[in-house]
Each structure stands twice: as C-alpha cells, then as structure tokens.
Structure 1
Amino acid sequence: MAFSDTPTLSHDLVRLEPLALAHHDDLCEAVSVGELWRAWYTSIPAPHAMEQEIERRLSLQFEGLMAPWAVVSAATGKAIGMTTYMNLDESNRRLEIGSTWLGREAHGTGINPAAKLLLLTRAFDELGCVAVEFRTHWHNHQSRAAIARLGAKQDGVLRSHMLLPDGSRRDTVVFSILDHEWPAARKGLLGRLVTRG
C-alpha cells in the first residue's frame, strides 16, 4: 500500500474520492462562492486555473509525491474542495495533510473534521505513520485554529519559509500529531462529530 494511493474514503458527511478532471466544474462552482482564491495568505486555485491545478496534483501523484482527493459532500454528491497527502516520506513513516480547501458553504458543517478523521485514520491505522504534519501560513488564523482543534500540537514556525507569487514571504506554522497522540485526537474528532448529530 503506497502513501500516494487514493482509495475512496467515506463518512456519513463526506466522501473523499480520487481527484479527477471530472470534478472540475463542481470545484469551480465551490471556489467561486466568496471568491476564496483571492485570500492573500492561502493558495486556492481560481476557477480559470482549476484544470491546471487538478493536472498538477495528478502529475505529482503519478510521480509518487502526492495523494490528491476531491472532497465530496455526501448530501449533494458534489465536489466542494480538495485535499492531499503531501511531503510523503514512506521510509520515515511521515506525511503532511495539506493543500486543502473547502468551498465557503461547507465551512462549519462538520465536513472538515469528518474529512480529517478519514485522512488521519488511513495515515495512522492503515499506513502506519508515526507522525502526520499540518502546515499553514502564519497569518491564516482560521486554519491555525482548525488545525489545533484536530488535536495537533504546534512544532514551530519556519520563518521566511516560502516566497509567494506576489513577492511576499510566508512564515509557515508547523503542527503535528504523533502516533501515540492519535487515540486522543480521534476521540476528540468523534466527539465533535457526535455533537453535530
């Protein structure tokens, strides 16, 4: 079982499907609500760049460097976002969950914690990871808070870690969940999802 494999993962709220060009139109619709791609502190594809981004992620998967999924609402059957395993390090049993975005209408619906439950369960229980990382822009406070709610702990900040297309520098906040922390993190996620019912 390779880290770059993308089996379909299912929960009552969400289904993670292997990313495909067939998801293009749904993803363009999802990203257009509120023009999410305009947020300066994150990298979300604009509708006109969606096909290129799908192809980029699939190319990285072909090279064994990424596992890309479409995030699909179980209620509507429509793709509402994207997520990946990236920075795959099979020899050290580590990976990062990242390059994730959800359409604005999915925010606060339980879809994000349900998707993370699926991804973390696969990483720890099926792939045998010892650590799963999350990284985000220092200024993306919404993302930082969401990562902390998963039970991840902040490892540190990589200062001036990336040069962004507009010439600004990104300070990257690094979080992780370790294998021995996963049982508690799983209980926290399950508890959040139960209280939604």
Structure 2
Amino acid sequence: MALTSSEINDYAQTPTMEYAGVRLEQLSPEHADDLAQVVTTGGLDEIWYTSVPSAQDMLGDIKKRLALQAAGEMAPFAIIDMSTGKAVGATTYLNIDESNHRAEIGSTYLSPEVQGTGINPAAKFMLLQRAFEELDCFSVAFCTHWHNEVSRAAIARLGAKQDGVLRNHKYDPITGTLRDTVIFSILPHEWPAVRTNLQARLARHGRI
C-alpha cells in the first residue's frame, strides 16, 4: 500500500534506505504478521508506559499510520533485518511540521531479540541522515514517557539534548494515568558529532 510522491509531502515520504545490514522501507499491511510476532514474543504491548500496538490490533495500527501518512502527518517505516528479510520493528517520522522544517522520530518498537545488535543505531542513523542531509530539518525531536528510563537513556546516548518536560501532557484512558513527556532534540550543527557517535557504535557491533 505505497503512496506516490504526488500524494504526500517530502517529509511524509518513505524512500527505501539501507545501511549496516538494516533496511527501512514503507510500512505496509504485508508487515503485519512479522510485527505481530515481534510484540507477542517480547511482550512489548504489555509495558504500561509505552504505546505499542497489540498483535490483534497490528493491522489496524498499520492502517492508522498509513492514513496519517496520507494526511502528511507521519512517515512510517518497517525496520528490516537484512540477514533474515523479516520485519523486526517499526519506526516513524511523526508530528511533521514541513513549513518549519521540524519532525519527531518516534512510535518506535523493536524485537528484544535484536536489541543490542546495532539495528536500532542503524535505523536512527538513516532517519537522522535523511532528516538533516536531504530534508534540511532545523530540529529533530524525540519524546518519551518520564517513566520510560530505558528510552530516555537510549535517546541521550544518541547525543540528543533534553529540552524539558511537559507535565500532565497526555491522558491514557486505558491506565487512567497522565503522562509527563520528556522532550529531546538534535539540531543541524550537532548532527556531525551524532553521526560519528552512531558510526562508532555500529563499528563496535561489526556492522560497518
């Protein structure tokens, strides 16, 4: 279910990108079975402070993301482990503000089986490279739940700087809790150092 370039803005397009044994490609219903297996095996949808779709809701979540892409608000990718050809996660440009050259990288989840293997740094490298070197972003944001300490640490390892915390930012009707959202960002002049850091991490994993 690919969208043509005439249907969406530049920021919402999802060109296929490959680097360090990882491929990012247009998210589609064809990825639903692989991604359902990812969240089931890892129990990712059971973590209360994340928003990972359940296996049962996976196809509906993919269709929702594609609808937001058609509206120019999101660019969803499947993360493919090129050694197996399987989708091992998903990631997204979201909260796209093309006129102000801003976007957020988020709505990301990855199979626990491939965490720590360099797949996530490779995916972040490709998304950030496109953002700064092709889309001329002025800022790329990362947002996460205050209680998601693993995510906060991972974002900081990228070299992103914490901008602040939005208190009582979102209400979750499922848990009945209010989310404090931690906001990080990377700016264009910081990208060269972030790029070098990611390449060093990938080298340690033997991916480059």
TM over 0.5: yes
Aligned residue for 2:10, secondary structure, equals coil
In 2, the alpha carbon distance for the partners of 1:97 and 1:134 equals 6
| 2:109 corresponds to 1:104 | no
Q: Equivalents in 1 of 2:188, 2:20: separation in Å?
A: 25
Query: In the alignment, does 2:193 pair up with 1:190?
Result: no
> How far apart in 2 are the matches of 1:102 and 1:51?
17
TM-score (normalised: structure 1): 0.98
CA–CA distance in 1 between the matches of 2:76 and 2:88? Answer: 14
Task: Specify every segment of 5 or more residues in structure 1 that has no aligned partner in the other structure, as ranges.
Answer: none
Offset of residue 171 of structure 1: 0.3
1:142 aligns with: 150
Q: 1:27-38 maps to which residues of 2 (within 5 A)?
A: 27-38=35-46
Match of 1:66 in 2: 74
Shift of 1:13: 2.4
Letter of the 2:59 partner, please give it: E
Contact 1:26 1:79 in 2 (8 A): yes
Once the two structures are TM-superposed, the CA of residue 192 in structure 1 deviates from its matched residue by 0.6
5 Å-filtered alignment, 1:124-139, equals 124-139=132-147
For the aligned residue pairs, the C-alpha RMSD in angstroms reads 0.8
Match of 2:11, SS state, is coil
User: What is the letter of the counterpart of residue 190 of structure 2?
Assistant: E
Secondary structure of the residue aligned to 2:106 is strand
Determine what percentage of the aligned residue pairs are the same residue. 58
Q: Distance in 2 between matches of 1:187 and 1:12?
A: 14
The superposition leaves residues 122-142 of structure 1 with CA deviations (integer Å, 9 ceiling, x where unpaired) of 000000001100000000000
> Are 2:120 and 1:115 aligned?
no
Q: Distance in 2 between matches of 1:21 and 1:10?
A: 21
Cα deviations across residues 41-78 of structure 1 (Å, max 9, x unaligned)?
Answer: 10001100001100000000011110000011111100
CA distance in 1 between partners of 2:39 and 2:85 (Å): 16
Contact preservation (8 Å) 2:20, 2:202: no
Residue in structure 2 matching 1:174, options 163, 180, 183: 183
Task: State the TM-score, normalizing by the size of structure 2.
Answer: 0.93
**Which whole-Å CA distance do the structure 2 matches of 1:161 and 1:70 have between them?**
28
Q: What is the alpha-carbon distance in structure 1 between the residues aligned to residue 200 and residue 111 of structure 2?
A: 24
* Runs ≥4 residues deviating over 3 A: none
Q: Are the counterparts in 2 of residues 12 and 74 from structure 1 also a CA contact under 8 Å?
A: no
Q: Which runs of no fewer than 5 residues in structure 2 stay unpaired?
A: 1-8
Structure 2 residue aligned with 1:11: 19
The answer to whether structure 1 residue 20 and structure 2 residue 18 are counterparts is no
- Separation in 2 of the partners of 1:63 and 1:34? 31
CA contact (8 A) 1:13 1:110 kept: no
